[in-house]
Amino acid sequence: MELNLLTIDAARSAIQERKTTSMALVESFYARIQKEDSAIGAYLTLTRERALEQADRIDRLAAEGKPLPPLGGVPVGIKDVMCTRGVRTTAGSKILENFIPPHDCTAVARLEAAGAVVLGKLNCDEFAMGSSNENSAFHPVRNPRDLSRVPGGSSGGSAAAVAADMAVVTLGSDTGGSIRQPASFCGVVGLMPTYGRVSRYGLIAFASSLDHIGPLAKNVKDTASVLRTIAGRDPMDSTSADVPVPDYVAEIDKPVSGLKIGMAEEYFGDGLDAEVRKAVEDAIQSLAKLGCDVVPVSLPHTEYAIPTYYIVATAEASSNLARFDGVRYGYRAKNARTLAEMYRRSRDEGFGAEVKRRIMLGTYALSAGYYDAYYLKAQKVRALLTQDFDGAFRKVDAIVTPTSPTAAFQLGEKANDPLAMYLADIYTVTADLAGIPGISIPCGQTREKLPADWLADSW
């Protein structure tokens, strides 16, 4: 039995039936991390003591013959934008390099309450701002499928850890595609839930009206198991939805025959790589053979999605990141002579180039004389994008599109071209703006053996 290849059900059953122990499973994953991660760079902090304590609790339950909790003994990794009590949480930034939170993110707490074993904190683009995981203040993450390529971002560490068998499942965050795009590049499943389905309490904020927490895994069932665990109302997050949480795992077994699948013409135009297009179109034909009805739909305001997103997201980032000023926590510049100098130098030395770029863009969009022309107009276009989906979902149950215009690109290929990097998010930002869920699922590979994925959005 290869422990690093186990799914959630297989790992839990093996521990319950005493074919292995949670302790052995954890040690197997740490051995894998030690062997592989020096080349990949997925982990920033390991939580061995915390993991072994949880593994011991699970093993005691199994030894006593008691049923294990739903994720009993399952090794998981956590993107380093989620607070973990007593464990360094950096958001991939120098400004939080030594930050130790006093509390757990709700999603992390729910995973551990369900028996999951947290192996460590995963690398990411600084403050979740990026599409390649090259913006981490510490080191980039490399794609396990091809170490010369990016794993996607900003949850690149989360996707890479699953793809490299260094965690069974992981948590990531998605503000404009940061779960789905790295899942696509690394060939794993990545789910962004509906806005409000999973509590954001304990998530270090990037753009509060766009941020989501969601799972990455090797298959859809494991993704559903994690979502079932972390979803639900949280009194600590006023935006979390107070609606019942269905049994997502049971829903998987329902037949797809009769479902109406939308195919949006705007997502299959210029700029889409021919091999990616073919893989996605073949996947859509597979759905048709299973009895789905493929229906053409139109999302006419898609061309405005990128500029709209990069106004709304940067404006909210400008506001949220104002708290990092060197006063209460985080990096503080030394030898500043005045308070104003301390603010300025702390932020200048603590933030990386991409974060500074987005703060400046957002501050400009919110500034006097420009608010109506940029931020207010972007919010109006956001409403139009949402209306596009409203209209489409009156006709179909889900919309299938490519996750990314291309497969994973080379490290450094777009690092000096921010606009090209931003345009890579064209197929993912729309769902964040509309607040709908999306899931990226592998559907093939290119001639270079790189994964190609399709993205399903639903209402």
In a domain, 390, yes or no: no
Number of domains in the chain: 1
H or E element, residue 76 = strand 75-79
Q: For residue 448, is it within any domain?
A: no
In the predicted model, is pLDDT for residue 214 greater than 90? yes
Is 145 inside a domain boundary? Answer: yes
Instruction: Say if CB 345 and CB 333 are below 8 A apart.
Output: yes
**How confident is the model at residue 458, as a pLDDT?**
67
State the pLDDT at residue 457. Answer: 74
Strand (E) or helix (H) holding 214: strand 212-217
Tokens 């990128």 — which residue?
Answer: 306
Look at residue 55 in the predicted model and tell me its pLDDT: 98
What does the pLDDT average to over 202-209? 98
Q: Known catalytic residues?
A: 79, 154, 178
Helix (H) / strand (E) containing 363: helix 353-366
Is pLDDT of 452 > 80?
no
Q: Residue 241 pLDDT more than 70?
A: yes
pLDDT at res. 448: 82
Distance between CA atoms of residues 243 and 256, nearest Å: 25
pLDDT of residue 454: 67
Task: Between 448 and 400, name the one with better pLDDT.
Answer: 400
Instruction: Give the model's pLDDT for residue 446.
Output: 84
Helix, strand, coil shares of the chain, percent, nearest 5, are 40, 15, 40
Is residue 104 a part of any domain in this protein?
A: yes
The structure tokens 């607040």 sit at 435
Does the pLDDT at position 222 exceed 90? yes
Residue 111 has pLDDT above 90, yes or no: yes
User: Is the pLDDT at 423 greater than 90, yes or no?
Assistant: no
Angle of the 48-63 helix axis to the 22-40 helix axis, nearest 10:
150
Rounded Cα gap, residues 391 and 383, in angstroms? 12
- 4: tokens are 């690093």
pLDDT of residue 405: 94
Answer yes or no: is pLDDT of 447 > 90: no
- With respect to residue 59, please indicate whether it lies within any of the assigned structural domains: yes
Both tokens of 213, joined, read 């927490």
Name the residue among 281, 290, 274 with its Cα closest to residue 443.
281
Stated pTM of the model: 0.96
The pLDDT tens digits of the residues spanning 297-350 come to: 999 999 999 999 999 999 999 999 999 999 988 999 999 999 999 999 999 999
Say if strands 75-79 and 117-122 run parallel, antiparallel, or are unpaired: parallel
Torsion 438-444-446-450 (CA) sign: positive
pLDDT tens sequence across 60-72: 999 999 999 999 9
Prior bond of 154 cis (ω within 30°): yes
The H or E element spanning position 172 is strand 169-174
β-bridge pairing 398-402 and 451-458: antiparallel
Taking alpha carbons only, the member of 429, 435, 433 closest to residue 458 is 435
Give me the percent of the chain exceeding a pLDDT of 70: 99
418, 360 contact by CB (below 8 A): no
pLDDT at 444 over 90: no
In this prediction, residue 459 carries a pLDDT of 58
Average pLDDT of the chain is 96
Residue-number span of the structural domain to which 90 is assigned: 3-252
Residue 385 CA to residue 371 CA, distance in Å, equals: 20
* CATH number, domain containing residue 109: 3.90.1300.10
Cβ neighbours of residue 273 under 8 Å, at least 6 residues apart? Answer: 405, 406, 407, 446
Q: What is the pLDDT of residues 357-400, one digit of tens each?
A: 999 999 999 999 999 999 999 999 999 999 999 999 999 999 99
